[in-house]
Amino acid sequence: MIRTIEALSGNFEMTVCGYLPYKDLNFFDVGNFIEQKKIISFHLKFPALIRKPISAFLNLFYYKKSDNILNPLLNIEKTAEALSKLKPNVIICHGLGFLQLCSYMKTDEIKLILNAHEYYPAEFEHEESWKEMGERYKLILKKYARQIDLIFSVNGTIGERYEKEFKIPFVEVINAPDYVEDIIPSEVVSPIKIVHHGSALANRKIEVMIDAILSSTLSCELHLVLVPTEKEYYEFLRIKYRLEKRIIFSEPVNVKDISKNINRYDLGIYLLPPLNFNNLNALPNKFFEFIQARLAILISPNPEMKKLVEQYNLGCVTADFSPASLTGSLNSLTLERIREYKNNSQKFAKELSSIKTKQVMLAAVNQLCAA
């Protein structure tokens, strides 16, 4: 959402609509239109990975069949009436939380863009409890598909699925961070310094990466820069590997500082199990943060990441998702190959940054307005 705001706010008069303001932009607080606010507000400031399942649970078992799937107590009519006074030309809806509201405001003159960070009906499809919720997401998307003029899709595979199932056109808007211009690849010496950064989540099976590295013959050390999203899992990792000198836990930094912070390392590593459609086809922030940090990259064979690694020769892709495959890839690395990969990250860092993404969004919105 922030990258969308930054891409468009300099060219359009923009109002941010939600629960929290952003910088000094015009802000419309939908919290003023929540009925029985106290019932649902306890979880609104939780991280998304915690907030979304709670909202889904409330919707299934408490609010039942509301189309307003993540904001079921929002008074749609009153909110839309107030927002309509702003006379918008384009509405960008981030996720499905406000899709009913945005569709309620839609006219032939007002264009509606859905910013899809993933394929929402499959968000937690690896969990049995998600089945009913996933079907509801599909029904809601089918209901409002004709209202949506365009989808900003996090990658082509996910965009193509929306287009195939709901007949909604899309443009690919990758989740790339800003270009970092004042750094160069760090010197590569033995032992190789490997880094993995992000949330400590049990379903990401970080211990598989750790065990693969410990089984490797490569002279290396793994630095884990983890946010303790799941505290029990985070502590499990720290305790299990506390005696391993090659495994080093480091403190996380502000999101905007990640690339500069991890520039000191040599190789960014990410093994993402294909638990569901979104995981299989993920193209996450951290992938592009590796590039801005001018690192070599070692990833599992998730198609969208694999495509870019091979296209730009940024690193290695494991043969499959197994620990043995990861260990084999590590064993095949040399100092010379890692230097080559890091130099390619340097070469293509600008092309694989938010510069191109912002241009794509601006062109798409201008084209909709012209239409």
State residue 24's pLDDT score.
84
Q: What is the pLDDT of residue 10?
A: 87
Q: Please answer whether residues 113 and 151 qualify as being in contact, where contact means their C-beta atoms are separated by less than 8 angstroms.
A: yes
Instruction: Name the architecture of domain 2-176+354-370.
Output: 3-Layer(aba) Sandwich (3.40)
Q: Would you give the distance in Å from CA 106 to the centre of its chain?
A: 27
Q: What backbone torsions phi and psi does residue 260 show, to the nearest 5 degrees?
A: -65, -35
Q: Measuring CA to CA, which residue among 308, 47, 13 is closest to residue 172?
A: 308
- For residue 198, what is the enclosing H or E element? strand 192-199
Residue 48 to residue 43: CA distance in whole angstroms: 10
Look up residue 276 and give its two tokens.
Answer: 């569901």
State the pLDDT at residue 129.
87
Q: 192-348: what CATH class?
A: alpha beta
Going from N- to C-terminal start, the domains of the chain cover 2-176+354-370, 192-348
The string of pLDDT tens digits covering residues 248-295 is 999 999 999 999 999 999 999 999 999 999 999 999 999 999 999 999
State the DSSP string of 80-92: HHHHHTT--SEEE
Distances (CA, A) of 232 to 24, 126, 240, 280: 38, 21, 12, 25
**Integer CA distances (angstroms), 340 to 165, 315, 336, in order:** 41, 9, 6
Q: Please check whether the two domains, 2-176+354-370 and 192-348, share a CATH topology.
A: yes
CB within 8 Å of 227: residues ≥ 6 apart: 198, 199, 200, 252
Terminal Cα distance for the chain, rounded? 24
Contact in structure between 172 and 360 (CB atoms under 8 Å) = yes
Q: How many residues does the chain have?
A: 371
Is there a contact between 221 and 250 (Cβ–Cβ < 8 Å)?
no
Determine the pLDDT at residue 107. 92
Mean pLDDT by 10 residues, the chain (371 residues): 86 91 88 68 66 69 59 85 94 92 93 96 91 91 96 97 98 95 95 96 92 95 96 97 96 94 97 94 96 98 98 97 94 98 98 94 94 74
Residue 176 CA to residue 164 CA, distance in Å, equals 25
- pLDDT the model gives residue 43: 63
Q: What distance in Å separates the CA atoms of residue 72 and residue 62, rounded to the nearest whole number? A: 10
